[in-house]
Amino acid sequence: MSCRAPRLYTWAASVVCCLLCCGCAGYRLGPVLKADYKSVAVPMFKNKTLMPQLEAQITNGIIKRLQSDGTLRVESEENADLIVTGQILHYRRSALRSLRTEAITPREFRISIDARVDARNRVTGKVVLAPTVVTGNADTFVGDDPQGAEEQALPLIADDLARQVVSLLVESW
């Protein structure tokens, strides 16, 4: 074996190590949020629909999603950097499928909830998220208890809506 072989292996190993280190240079652990806020408060949303208790479902869904995401800490209004407010604007139920024997009797519904959400920095009053309408959806089959089917779909709708709201707040793309 010549004297050049160990040098060649050493050189090749150093080039590979350099490429691996440079390839991971932009990677970092922790949240990707590059904003000046670290905590958030979510006061109870206002319900502009005739459907009762939607405000509790939606607000709790957003708080749970923020907690599971972990990028922002959920605080009280007095201690939070960011205040997220919202209004539930519409509650819609539209038929997706009907029974074969009766075309006017729905078998499956899509339930949608529209909410207008905005966020402001508590200290400066600066708008962090301009008023944005977000829609949460879920599909449900109608059995013997149509009202029960709707009630079971509400947490799914709240979570869908909350996922979108949290994404708007924490992703800085």
Between residues 102 and 132, which one has the greater pLDDT? 132
Q: Is the Cα torsion angle 60, 61, 66, 67 positive or negative in sign?
A: positive
Q: Residue 34: pLDDT above 80? A: no
**Domain membership of residue 145 as a residue range:** 32-170
16 assigned to some structural domain: no
pLDDT value at position 94?
87
- Each residue's pLDDT tens digit, 63-118: 999 999 999 999 999 999 999 999 999 999 888 877 667 666 677 889 999 999 99
Residue 150 placed within a domain:
yes
63 neighbors 74 (Cβ within 8 angstroms) = yes
Q: What is the DSSP letter of 137?
A: E
Is 60 within a domain? yes
Query: Is residue 108 one of the residues assigned to a domain?
Result: yes
Query: How high is the pLDDT of residue 4?
Result: 65
Residue 111 CB contacts under 8 Å (≥ 6 apart), including other chains: 91, 92, 93, 137, 138, 139, 140, 150, 153, 154, 157
pLDDT (0 to 100) of residue 23:
61
What is the chain's mean pLDDT, rounded? Answer: 85
Q: Is residue 146 part of a domain?
A: yes
Segments in the chain forming alpha helices (H) = 4-23, 54-69, 146-170
Of 170, 159, 171, residue with least CA distance to 40: 170
Decide if pLDDT at 162 tops 90. yes
Is residue 12 domain-resident? no
pTM of the complete model beyond 0.75: yes
Q: What is the CATH number for 165?
A: 3.30.160.150
State what percent of residues in the chain have pLDDT above 90: 59
Q: What is the mean pLDDT of residues 119-147?
A: 90
In the structure, what pLDDT confidence band is assigned to residue 20 with cuts at 50, 70 and 90? low
